[in-house]
A and B are shown apart, each in its own frame.
Chain A
């Protein structure tokens, strides 16, 4: 991973936070903060202009909130990953953000190392960020969420048995390497499976796959 640094855009309505994260992330050689946005609209505009790899997105912003901004960004440019910044982790708005297309979320008070690691994981896309908490979040709020989701179940039927198995493991927060170990296959095979699952289900990353797994009822929210 000694290629070009990960290009990051920071969107937060507070200047202190923007500058703070910029200073912290710029201490890491493999991460490059290329811009700052002051609200959701600004973020959408700057993403279109700068095409960063990862957007650090505050949820609560004036003008356009982080969730809607995330939705716009991930719809327009699916390859750009959004990492949501939040004061509270187990929060329905974080769940909303994940549904809107965010690849993960991070507490604002995370240490610089956690912050950098989260950016790397989200950029690489081969593991779920903060698996335990993400799983809990998704399982907790997918249960409360009673929006219609009828077509989901049918789409599970498109998956092979192996792929369904892999999807369930993704939903449990396992990384590709862990899944490979569990199923006694090569990591490359898992990667292939994950890729096929995402294509078949029309999902953009494994976070979305995890949300899907819970919402479709493939994984039951229990046992944590």
Chain B
């Protein structure tokens, strides 16, 4: 309808008014604002000090040339050469402080010698000697640049030499009818060097602190890794030791189960028992080492409140329901989805899968309050795919130390079992942990795949798991929407 209006005579006015109004509104939005818009850090700003010092160098050059030529009686070429050297010394000191200092000193000596000639000849009176004021400024700039960067010893040496040369020229050699600048130059140089050394010391201290902080962080990460490894090792040794003691019991029981056991059988069983006992002794030794390094930490999700977690056997996937119940009780909404036909898995795989789920849920509890978590287990002929996804937290999590600690442990476990793992944030603000644990270290046994045709999903080796996992990964988004 409005388009039809636009064709009529009166209609042409209205779009114009409307356009003007729109423009005014845009203009108002653009200009009537106090929106903060800080200048982004730019690379060329880094060169600002260099620019300022180049200006100083230019001033020193011009000043020195003027002083030497007009008041000092030096020829224009000589004055120009000396002034250029003094200004150039400042620029040079930006990159090479010590040569810059030498240049500045040389120019000062040359200027002093040249002017002294005219002073003694009586041509020049009341000239600032041996340092010109431009020369003092140049020398101060050079000494500052130098003392900011080189070691204190070098700064002190250059200052001492500056004073010494000044003293030799003014105090020992001398001239007549001049305004002495030696003391002023000495004082100003000393002030600048002290300032430079102090600033440099502070900067170095800060750099050292940063370095130490980095080192500490690295050290902590390394220690965390080692702790995780020893924790994993302890758990696994624990499982092995448990099995070993059952073997020793069974070997002892077996001869009692038959009427008159033959001597060979008894001997054999006794051998089994002795070996089991020896293995146990060794295991206890290893575990003693592992335990003494890292006292058992309570697993928050195992048995909340009672602290009785360590009194239960090392967990397997059978205890997943209890874990999920505990997590729910702790305030996280958890959905569990198990796919595929469950087969007996090696104890290490079961334990690791349990621990991965536990750690992921614990992380979700800590870092994603109010979120929904989805635990997906998928049994394939080749192993077990574990996936834990949590949705976006409904409110920000309180800061907690030890972030990434749990992920580290998961990675270690997965790596130990020749599995694979990914953990990353999701675009919607959630987090996803996905791991595949092969049923055996050698996961690609074709016979096993052929024998087990009942398992749903593609029977095409390892990728089956990530494939299936990726599919379920999208679900939590739907849930939270």
Contacts and interface: CB of A to CB of B under 8 A. Distances in A.
Contact of B308 (A65, A108, A109): A65
B56 interface: no
A203 interface: no
Interface string A58-74: 01111001111000000
Contacts of B11: none
A216 to B, nearest CB: 24
Interface string A1-27: 000000000000110110111011001
B246 interface: yes
Contact of A14 (B246, B248, B311): B246
B376 to A, nearest CB: 25
Given A60-B311, A93-B311, A87 B252 contact: no
B313 A109 contact: no
A62 B246 CA distance: 17
A108 B245 contact: yes
A88 B308 contact: no
Interface string B241-265: 1101110111011001100000000
B277 A109 contact: yes
A27 B252 CA distance: 12
Given A23-B256, A87-B242, A16 B311 contact: no
Contacts of B296: 92
Contacts, number: 69
B249 A109 contact: yes
Which one of B244, B276, B313 has the highest number of Cβ atoms from chain A below 10 Å of its Cβ? B313
B425 interface: no
B313 A13 contact: yes
A177 interface: no
B241 A65 contact: no
A68 B250 contact: no
Contacts of B280: 87, 109
Interface size class of B (residues with CB under 8 A): 20 to 34
A27 to B, nearest CB: 6
Interface in A103-125: 107-109, 111-112
Contacts of A20: 246, 249-250, 252-253
Interface size class of A (residues with CB under 8 A): 20 to 34
B249 A59 contact: no
B284 A88 contact: yes
Contacts of A93: 310-311
B248 A109 contact: yes
Which one of B249, B250, B310 has the highest number of Cβ atoms from chain A below 10 Å of its Cβ? B249
B21 interface: no
Contacts of A111: 252
B319 interface: yes
B51 interface: no
Interface in A28-69: 59-62, 65-68
A90 interface: yes
Interface in A67-111: 67-68, 87-90, 92-93, 107-109, 111
A123 B308 CA distance: 28
A19 B254 CA distance: 11
Nearest to A85: B245
Given A24-B253, A88-B241, A109-B280, A68 B248 contact: no
B312 interface: yes
A111 B249 CA distance: 8
Interface in B309-338: 310-313, 319
Contacts of A21: 249
A61 B242 contact: no
B171 to A, nearest CB: 75
Contacts of B252: 20, 24, 111-112
B288 interface: yes
Contact of B246 (A17, A67, A89, A107): A17
Contacts of A23: 253, 256-257
Contacts of A27: 256
Given A17-B249, A60-B313, A88-B284, A24 B256 contact: yes
Contact of B311 (A19, A24, A59, A88): A59
Contacts of B311: 59-61, 65-68, 93
Given A23-B257, A90-B288, A109-B280, A65 B250 contact: no
Contacts of A62: 312-313, 319
Given A20-B249, A109-B248, 16 more contacts: A14-B246, A20-B250, A20-B252, A24-B253, A60-B310, A60-B311, A61-B313, A62-B313, A65-B312, A66-B311, A68-B306, A87-B245, A88-B241, A93-B311, A108-B246, A111-B252
Interface of A: 13-14, 16-17, 19-21, 23-24, 27, 59-62, 65-68, 87-90, 92-93, 107-109, 111-112
6 contacts: A14-B246, A16-B250, A60-B313, A61-B311, A61-B312, A68-B306
The 8 closest A-B pairs by CB, nearest first: A65-B311, A109-B248, A20-B249, A20-B253, A108-B245, A60-B313, A109-B245, A23-B253
Interface of B: 238, 241-242, 244-246, 248-250, 252-253, 256-257, 276-277, 280, 284, 287-288, 296, 306, 308, 310-313, 319
